[in-house]
Structure 1
């Protein structure tokens, strides 16, 4: 596993919207993740991991 992927995984766990922003940019995935994280932290984390790993 390379360093960039490891950093993204750690960001997915602690700051999911930041990880999605770094991976996908400022698009609908970022805003979906922001809402999921704001209201329910665990779904936001799962969503970020899913987007990062795909």
Structure 2
């Protein structure tokens, strides 16, 4: 598998994860930190959609 294929596959998986479980996607991309905590708060307060938007912004 080429590097480009691997990178695009990882990105696709991270996008799917960001839609299904936004905090987990941010954690896998950035680890424990302010972005992770912010995403949890946004997901809980923003009724999931805001958390998804933030997770996609972090992942992409």
Fold-level match, TM-score > 0.5? yes
Q: Matched residues in 1 for 2:44 and 2:14: separation?
A: 19
**TM-score using structure 1 length:** 0.91
Tell me the SS of whatever aligns to 1:26.
coil
Partner of residue 48, structure 1: 55
Q: Matched residues in 1 for 2:10 and 2:29: separation?
A: 10
Root-mean-square deviation (CA, aligned residues, Å) is 1.0
Of the two, which has the highest radius of gyration?
Answer: 2
The one of 26, 37, 53 aligned to 1:31: 37
Q: Alignment length, in residue pairs?
A: 53
Unaligned runs of 5+ in 2: 1-6
**TM-score using structure 2 length:** 0.82
Runs of 4 or more off by more than 6 Å in structure 1? Answer: none
